Structures are given as C-alpha cells and as structure tokens.
Amino acid sequence: SAVISQKPSRDICQRGTSLTIQCQVDSQVTMMFWYRQQPGQSLTLIATANQGSEATYESGFVIDKFPISRPNLTFSTLTVSNMSPEDSSIYLCSVVQGAEERYTFGSGTRLTVV
C-alpha cells in the first residue's frame, strides 16, 4: 500500500493565522482526501482533491476556510485559514489504491490554536 508523508506532525498556532499541511505520496494516486478529527470524536471528511480540478468540499466546509491544492498526482496541501481555537484538531490526508480499494492514511497533523 501507499506510504504517505504528512508534515508538520504538530503545530501550535496563534488565532487569526493560517497553517498549510502537506501530504506527499510515494506513488501516483487519482484521489486524495482530507479529514478532520476533533478532540474525542471520529473522522469527518473535509474534501476530496483530484489533480487538475477544483476540490470537492463536504457540507459545512468551504474553500475560503480550507483551500486545497493538488498540483500533481503525488502531492496535496490543505490550508487552515484564519484559525480559531475551534480549529484545534487532528488533520489527516488519505488515499485509496489498488483493486481492493484500500484506504491509507498519513500520520496526521495535530493542530492547537491558542
């Protein structure tokens, strides 16, 4: 299965600032997914990023708050903009690969907004 490198692993940010999270995959993938996991909760899909097209956002998530780039088939970034303490979460990228369509996740970015 794919190996995903996600950076940074954690950060503490001031409210009102922005943070960009990077995901690098060791093989080409069509779709990349960005998830948020708020404290004590399960994962919620933010958006699906396809190379060469605009990301598709889930209900409750907007491009101005969570802009996504997907410049090629192995890389994507998620920016958390104008952060508030409510954005404190773990953010994860994910890909799906293979005939069995197995999901693989990055190691996560633990964000704390103060």
Partner 1 sequence: KQEVTQIPAALSVPEGENLVLNCSFTDSAIYNLQWFRQDPGKGLTSLLLIQSSQREQTSGRLNASLDKSSGRSTLYIAASQPGDSATYLCAVRRPPSGSRLTFGEGTQLTVNP
Report if residue 48 touches partner 1, rule: CB under 8 A.
yes
Rg (CA), the chain: 13
Instruction: Please state the closest distance from residue 30 (CB atom) to partner 1, in A.
Output: 8
Nearer to partner 1, 73 or 96 (CB): 96
46 binds partner 1 (CB under 8 A): no
Rounded-to-integer distance, Cα 48 and Cα 45, Å:
8
Binding residue (CB under 8 A) for partner 1 from 11, 13, 24, 45: 45
Q: Is 104 in the site for partner 1 (CB under 8 A)?
A: yes
63 to each of 5, 15, 47, 81, 108, how far by Cα in Å?
23, 19, 9, 10, 21
Q: Of the candidates 9, 15, 71, 77, which has an alpha carbon nearest to the alpha carbon of residue 46? A: 77
Q: Taking CB under 8 A as the rule, does residue 106 contact partner 1?
A: yes
Task: Identify the CA nearest to 35 among candidates 96, 98, 101, 100.
Answer: 96
Residues that bind partner 1 (CB under 8 A): 1, 6, 10, 30-31, 33, 41-43, 45, 48, 90, 92, 94, 96, 100-108, 110
